[in-house]
Every structure is written in structure tokens, then in C-alpha cells.
């Protein structure tokens, strides 16, 4: 029997997951649950790694590939992979794996919760009670905006978008969407309607951004876009922060060009407590928890382990980004 392969994990993971990896590999791990692995350590580890178990916060790029002669698989704990140079991996026959599907419903739950929270001012209302301010009542106390029978505009109609659309239809919303490719099946099955981007932003009461970060989507939401939205409309982002020009969002909120925002993602994460977006009462900010239920995060970790295991024994992984390396 040859030597076991070496897998480096870039964040401290639950013991059960580590044991799974240890069943087929020697394991190295960055021992922090919440701080990303320093670049210098990641590079040192990459030199000897057959597999990397990575997070969105780990840039996996040409510099790393160049010094990682044994690397066969990078398994990212996310459906997105904007932290990874895919072409560079493909050129070297390195499999890039991710965790689609298993997080779809959980992320849709969060996106729709964010919409409800911002519309009905739930964050403000909870603070109001906790801060002991609830000593009277008035007809418009913490009155928000209705969700039912309003128009939801989804930008980025992938699986998560479709799952949000199903929730929205249950709330009797009208759902319009924009996507790079028209989704004829979704239109038939879900009765959602396609709109060009410029029409969608003018028509929606809630604009929900779920698009991945690509060259085309980077900084898609600029001041001009916010200005074209209804002044009563809310902007919700559960996709990627860099799809938004954050300073333009701040300006649009200051100028009251939109009614508020619900944000699970930011241009640069994590954000500090004194981030300018946090001073708006009509902004709900979350720490990128789209897929963060225990069930889903455990399933995502297990998927990453299985993807790595399969690649290291010469099989095709369950979910990968660059299938072409097997052709």
C-alpha cells in the first residue's frame, strides 16, 4: 500500500468531519474556527497537499498552483467559487469541487427571511422591545411595508432563485426575474415572468440579488440602478457583496432613492461594527449566513469530504466546477 494522501483543511471543523477525512488521508488543519488561514501558511501547506478543503475566504490562485505540484483537488465549502482561479486549476488537471443543491432551500429560507425582516422592520422591532422602549402603543408604531401581493424581482434565477420564487408565490407575490439565460422551464412551472434587467429594477417592490460574482456581474448595482428603483422599493442581497458598488448603495440610502436594504453579503467581509451601512435603521445586516443551518453546513462539509475522497482514489467527484478535466 502506498502512502496516504495529505489533505489540508483551512478552518477548524467538527471532529466527525475530520475523522471522515482521516479515514483516507493524513490531515493538516488550521486550528481556528473563525479566522482565515494566513496566506503564508496556506502556501506552505499547499506545497505538500494532495487535496485542499477550502472556504470562500481563501484565495486559490496561480501563485498557489505554481508551488503545489501534488495538488489534485480543491473542495470549496460553498456553491460559489469566486475565490478560485478555475482556469488555472483546469490547466493543471486539478478538480475544483463545490457544494451545490444541498444548500438551496436553506439559502432560500434566509433570503426570504431577510426580505420579510427588512419589510416588516423586525430588527428594529426586536431592538425596541429588548431596549425596554415598549411602554405605549400607536397606530403606526414600527409599521412596515406589506410583502403579500407585491412584486419580487429576482436577479440571478438559479436553483436558489427558483426556491425563493416558490416561497414568494406562497406569499401571493408576483415574481419577475432576470437571468443571463432565459429560464423557460421556470416560467412554465412557477409562473414567474422574465424581464430585462432595466425593466425589472423599475418594476419590483423588492429587488433580490442572487447572482454569482463574475466579470459581468461585478458592480452591477451602481447608483444609477438604485436611482431607477422605486423610492418605496427594498434591495436584498444574498448573493455576493461585490455585485454592488457599496458606496453607491450608501449614497442611495442617504438620498432616499430606495426604502431600505437587507444584506447578507458585503463588498469586503467581515465588516466592522462601525461600517457606514450599519447606521441606517432601514438596513438589516447579517454575517453571510445564507447556508448556515446546522443540517446544511454539516451536509456541505460531508459533501466536500466525499468530493475530495473520490478525486484522490481516481473517481469523479459528486459536484465539481471543471468537468472538462475528465475529458
Instruction: Quickly list DSSP for 170-198.
Output: HTT-EEEEE-SS--HHHHHHH--EE--HH
For the segment 289-308, give every residue that binds ligand 8YV (CB under 6 A).
290-291
Decide: 98 and 320 in contact? Cβ < 8 Å: yes
* Choices 5-13, 58-66, 75-83, 272-280 (CB under 6 A): range interacting with ligand 8YV: 75-83
In the bound state with ligand 8YV, the residue whose beta carbon lies nearer, of 195 and 288, is: 288
Distance (Å, whole) CA 81 – CA 70: 21
For the segment 261-290, give every residue that binds ligand 8YV (CB under 6 A).
288, 290
Lookup: cell for 323 = 468537468
Q: Tell me the number of residues near ligand 8YV by CB under 6 A.
A: 11
Sole binder of ligand 8YV in the list 28, 59, 80, 123 (CB under 6 A): 80
* Choices 78-86, 111-119, 137-145, 214-222 (CB under 6 A): range interacting with ligand 8YV: 78-86
Rounded to the nearest 10 degrees, how much is the dihedral formed by the CA atoms of 49, 215, 255, 251?
A: 50
77 binds ligand 8YV (CB under 6 A): yes
Of the candidates 242, 314, 302, the one whose C-alpha atom is nearest the C-alpha of residue 75 is: 302
For the segment 43-72, give every residue that binds ligand 8YV (CB under 6 A).
55-56
CB of residue 85 vs ligand 8YV: minimum separation in angstroms? Answer: 16
Lookup: cell for 326 = 475528465
In the bound state with ligand 8YV, the residue whose beta carbon lies nearer, of 151 and 307, is: 307
Question: Active-site residue among 11, 178, 288, 303?
Answer: 288
In the bound state with ligand 8YV, the residue whose beta carbon lies nearer, of 42 and 252, is: 42
Specify whether 269 is catalytic.
yes
55-69 CB burial, b ≥16 within 10 A, e <16:
ebebebeeebbeebe
78 binds ligand 8YV (CB under 6 A): yes
Instruction: Quickly list DSSP for 61-119.
Output: -HHHHHT-TT--EEEESSS--TTB-HHHHHHTT-EEE---STTHHHHHHHHHHHHHHHH
Question: Active-site residue among 121, 195, 240, 310?
Answer: 240
In the bound state with ligand 8YV, the residue whose beta carbon lies nearer, of 237 and 291, is: 291
Distance (Å, whole) CA 171 – CA 168: 5
Question: Active-site residue among 31, 62, 269, 315?
Answer: 269
Specify whether 105 is catalytic.
no
Cβ-closest residue to ligand 8YV? Answer: 80
Sole binder of ligand 8YV in the list 79, 102, 243, 286 (CB under 6 A): 79
Q: Output the CA–CA distances (angstroms, integers) from residue 154 to 23, 195, 210, in the order listed.
A: 43, 10, 7
In the bound state with ligand 8YV, the residue whose beta carbon lies nearer, of 43 and 55, is: 55
CB of residue 99 vs ligand 8YV: minimum separation in angstroms? Answer: 7
* Choices 73-81, 188-196, 215-223, 248-256 (CB under 6 A): range interacting with ligand 8YV: 73-81
250 binds ligand 8YV (CB under 6 A): no
Distance (Å, whole) CA 232 – CA 204: 10
Q: Which residues contact 93 (CB under 8 A, 6 or more apart)?
A: 72, 325
SS3 128: helix
Sign of the C-alpha dihedral computed for residues 37, 40, 44 and 47 taken in this order: positive
The residues annotated as belonging to the active site are: 240, 269, 288
Q: Rule CB under 6 A: which residues touch ligand 8YV? A: 55-56, 77-80, 103, 107, 288, 290-291
Amino acid at each position: 500500500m502506498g502512502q496516504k494522501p495529505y489533505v489540508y483543511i483551512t478552518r477548524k471543523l467538527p471532529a466527525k468531519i475530520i475523522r471522515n477525512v482521516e479515514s483516507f488521508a493524513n490531515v493538516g488543519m488550521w486550528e481556528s474556527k473563525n479566522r482565515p488561514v494566513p496566506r503564508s501558511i496556506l502556501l506552505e501547506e499547499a506545497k505538500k497537499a494532495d487535496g485542499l478543503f477550502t472556504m470562500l475566504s481563501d484565495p486559490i490562485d496561480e501563485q498557489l498552483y505554481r508551488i503545489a505540484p501534488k495538488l489534485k483537488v480543491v473542495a470549496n465549502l460553498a456553491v460559489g467559487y469566486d475565490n478560485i482561479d478555475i482556469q488555472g486549476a483546469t490547466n493543471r488537471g486539478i478538480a475544483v469541487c463545490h457544494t451545490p443543491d444541498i444548500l438551496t432551500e436553506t439559502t432560500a429560507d434566509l433570503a426570504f427571511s431577510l426580505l420579510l425582516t427588512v419589510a416588516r422592520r423586525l430588527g428594529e422591532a426586536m431592538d425596541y422591545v429588548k431596549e425596554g422602549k415598549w411602554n405605549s402603543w400607536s397606530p403606526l408604531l414600527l409599521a412596515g411595508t406589506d410583502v403579500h401581493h407585491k412584486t419580487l424581482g429576482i436577479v440571478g434565477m438559479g436553483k436558489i432563485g427558483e426556491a425563493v420564487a416558490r416561497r414568494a408565490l406562497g406569499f401571493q407575490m408576483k415574481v419577475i426575474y432576470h437571468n443571463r439565460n432565459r429560464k423557460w422551464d421556470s416560467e412554465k412551472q412557477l409562473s414567474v415572468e422574465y424581464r430585462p434587467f432595466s425593466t425589472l429594477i423599475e418594476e419590483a417592490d423588492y429587488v433580490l440579488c442572487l447572482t454569482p460574482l463574475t466579470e459581468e456581474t461585478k458592480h452591477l448595482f451602481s447608483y444609477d440602478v438604485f436611482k431607477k428603483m422605486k423610492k418605496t422599493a427594498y434591495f436584498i442581497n444574498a448573493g455576493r457583496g461585490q455585485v454592488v458598488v457599496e458606496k453607491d448603495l450608501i449614497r442611495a440610502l442617504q438620498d432616499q432613492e430606495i426604502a431600505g436594504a437587507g444584506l447578507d453579503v458585503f463588498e469586503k467581509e467581515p465588516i466592522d461594527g462601525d461600517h457606514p451601512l450599519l447606521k441606517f435603521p432601514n438596513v438589516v445586516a447579517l454575517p453571510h449566513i445564507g447556508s448556515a443551518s446546522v443540517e446544511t453546513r454539516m451536509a456541505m462539509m460531508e459533501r466536500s469530504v466525499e468530493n475530495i475522497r473520490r478525486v484522490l482514489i481516481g473517481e469523479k467527484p459528486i459536484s465539481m466546477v471543471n468537468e472538462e478535466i475528465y475529458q
